[in-house]
Amino acid sequence: MFLTFYVHPVSTFGAVLDMVTDRISTACLLVILSQVYRPSFVFLSLLALDIGSHWFQMYSTFLVGKSNHKDVKDSTSWLFRLYYGNRMFMGYCCVACELLYIILFLLAKESEKMTDVLMDAAKQSIIYSALLAFLLFGWATKQLVNVIQMKTAADLCVLYDLNKKHNK
């Protein structure tokens, strides 16, 4: 995620490397959190959604012949277009997501529920509450975009297969 803001991928290799490093950093955080909090399937499901949605997006981009997986101008989802069309908004969502995971790790206490940890942190001050709300909004938006991304890309793959079958 941070590589995107420092090195703008100008090649296919750069774009893939950028996405792979983003997925690896997120995967590491989610696997660690799955060991700290229960039920762990929540974090492992988020990991599957993150990797799966981005894989589908890259694959569908390849199938339809687009040069960039962030080219979603033809999408019917306004949120999906906003996310990939506005680097500041996408950056906010990505950074909020990663920071929330890091904060969850730093605040973790043995045998405590994640919701209790977040509520305790929010009760400490209005600043913590506002920060957590800001991060949770970015995190939730990114998860929603991942769901939209997976569905949109899966639909494109199905359409590609149907067109291929029809043109035989």
State residue 7's pLDDT score.
Answer: 47
> If you ran DSSP here, which 8-state letter would residue 70 be given?
T
Task: Name the nearest CA neighbour of 41 among 51, 50, 31.
Answer: 31
The single-letter code of the amino acid at 115 is T
Structural domain total, the chain: 1
* pLDDT on residue 3: 45
Q: Which of 96, 91, 80 is nearest to 137 (CA)?
A: 96
Long-range contacts, 13-16 (Cβ 8 Å, 24+): 15/68, 15/69, 16/58
- How is 14-54 classified by DSSP, letter by letter? HHHHHHHHHHHHHHHHHHHHHHHSSSTHHHHHHHHHHHHHH
Q: Hey, what are 112's tokens? A: 């405590």
Q: What's the DSSP call for residue 87?
A: H
**DSSP for residue 40:** T
22 is catalytic: yes
Q: How far is CA 50 from each of CA 25, 39, 76, 101, 168, rounded to the nearest angstrom?
A: 11, 18, 21, 14, 34
Domain that holds residue 103: 2-166
The residue with tokens 């199905």 is: 158
- Does the pTM surpass 0.75? The reply is yes
Structure tokens at 32: 């660690």
Question: Which pLDDT score, from 0 to 100, does residue 67 have?
Answer: 65
The whole-number mean pLDDT for each consecutive block of 10 residues of the chain, a chain of 168 residues, reads 50 74 91 90 95 90 74 80 92 96 88 84 93 97 96 89 84
Contact by Cβ (8 Å): 84, 72: yes
Q: Of 48, 69, 67, 49, which is closest to residue 58 (Cα–Cα)?
A: 69
User: Which of these is catalytic: 18, 22, 71, 116?
Assistant: 22
